[in-house]
Amino acid sequence: RTVYVNGEYLPEHEAKVSIFDRGFLMADGVYEVTSVLGGKLIDFEGHAKRLARSLSELEIRKPMEDEALLEIHRELVARNDIDEGMIYLQITRGAPNDRDFVFPPEETAPTVVLFTQSKPGLADSPAAKEGIKVISIPDIRWGRRDIKTVQLLYPSMGKMMARAAGADDAWMVEEGAVTEGTSNNAYIVKGNTIITRQLSHEILHGITRAAVLRFAREAQMQVEERAFTIEEAQQADEAFITSASTFVMPVVEIDGAQVGQGAPGPVANRLREIYIEESR
């Protein structure tokens, strides 16, 4: 694989980052995952916008213009011959020459890393035909989940808790309501209405979420942006998640309780179809 690190395209084993990098020592960095379908980037503009916002909220210098970022994305897709998959981008506050809680001097260059992940069959995923199982876990993450930071230890542990329980993923619950999945936004469906938590500091503002809600409205579905409980989700007609790496993925079981018929429902299936169709 050819990767990008701080201005250079290199074979992955030659790419290096300092041991003093703020991303490594303090999880002081942000990331984006942009999917590729048919060699084409999905929603680059949305990801670039959210990235700029994450950087600005953390006062990390934006290292380059969006056009330059787009160029690197395209170059990596071409060099690695990516048809279906993802591009991972990470920008950290850079590498000063020691560990310090105080931010490094202004002139410290942010670290920029990008690499591709080839996922043949991403659009035609068998999981989407069967649906996935989720468990609920308490949401104990920090209070600025709208910033896409690389502090992913708890989501990673959540995924392992799901695995241990024989499930695929975890939905996180705070004050009795679902916030989101470990790496995706959460939805339920009641009749013709799609319900998903409203945007706030409590959840990541998914780029896939924005696209899917737009397609849902265009298809005359009703959209309600509000919080919901695990009990309401278990009794809903359908449930699903969205993210750049899963698109629209049906959820068929929550904490051991079957959702609807226990199989992917028509709304999730239709939204997945529309999303993939529109992204090709």
Q: Say how far apart CA 129 and CA 123 lie, in whole Å.
A: 11
Strand 29-37 to 85-92 pairing: antiparallel
C-beta of 107: minimal distance to ligand PDD in Å? 30
Strand 238-243 to 222-225 pairing: unpaired
Instruction: Examine the residue annotation and report whether 133 is marked as an active-site residue of this protein.
Output: no
Question: For residues 27 and 109, which CB has a smaller minimum distance to ligand PDD in the complex?
Answer: 27
Question: For residues 30 and 95, which CB has a smaller minimum distance to ligand PDD in the complex?
Answer: 30
C-beta of 201: minimal distance to ligand PDD in Å? 13
Q: Say how far apart CA 65 and CA 74 lie, in whole Å.
A: 15
Question: For residues 116 and 185, which CB has a smaller minimum distance to ligand PDD in the complex?
Answer: 185
C-beta of 104: minimal distance to ligand PDD in Å? 26
Question: For residues 185 and 234, which CB has a smaller minimum distance to ligand PDD in the complex?
Answer: 185
C-beta of 190: minimal distance to ligand PDD in Å? 22
Close Cβ partners of 78 (under 8 Å, ≥ 6 residues apart): none
Q: For the packed helices 207-218 and 44-58, what is the interaxial angle rounded to 10 degrees?
A: 140
- Sheet of 29-37: strands edge to edge? 8-11, 2-5, 111-118, 85-92, 29-37, 40-41
Across-strand partners of 9?
Answer: 4
Q: In 3-state terms, what secondary structure has residue 155?
A: helix
Question: For residues 99 and 214, which CB has a smaller minimum distance to ligand PDD in the complex?
Answer: 214
Q: Say how far apart CA 280 and CA 59 lie, in whole Å.
A: 35
Pick the catalytic residue from 62, 129, 148, 190: 148
For 43-162, where are the E strands, in sequence order? Answer: 85-92, 111-118, 132-138
- Kindly list the residues in this chain that would bind ligand PDD in the complex (CB under 6 A): 33, 180, 183-185, 204, 206-209, 242-245
Neighbour tally for 48: CB within 10 Å: 20
- For residue 16, the number of C-alpha atoms closer than 13 Å in the C-beta half-sphere is 4
Measured at the alpha carbon of residue 48, what is the angle toward residues 43 and 50, in degrees to the nearest 5?
A: 100
- For residue 160, report the phi and psi dihedrals to the nearest 5 degrees: -70, -35
Question: For residues 180 and 238, which CB has a smaller minimum distance to ligand PDD in the complex?
Answer: 180
Residues identified as active-site: 148
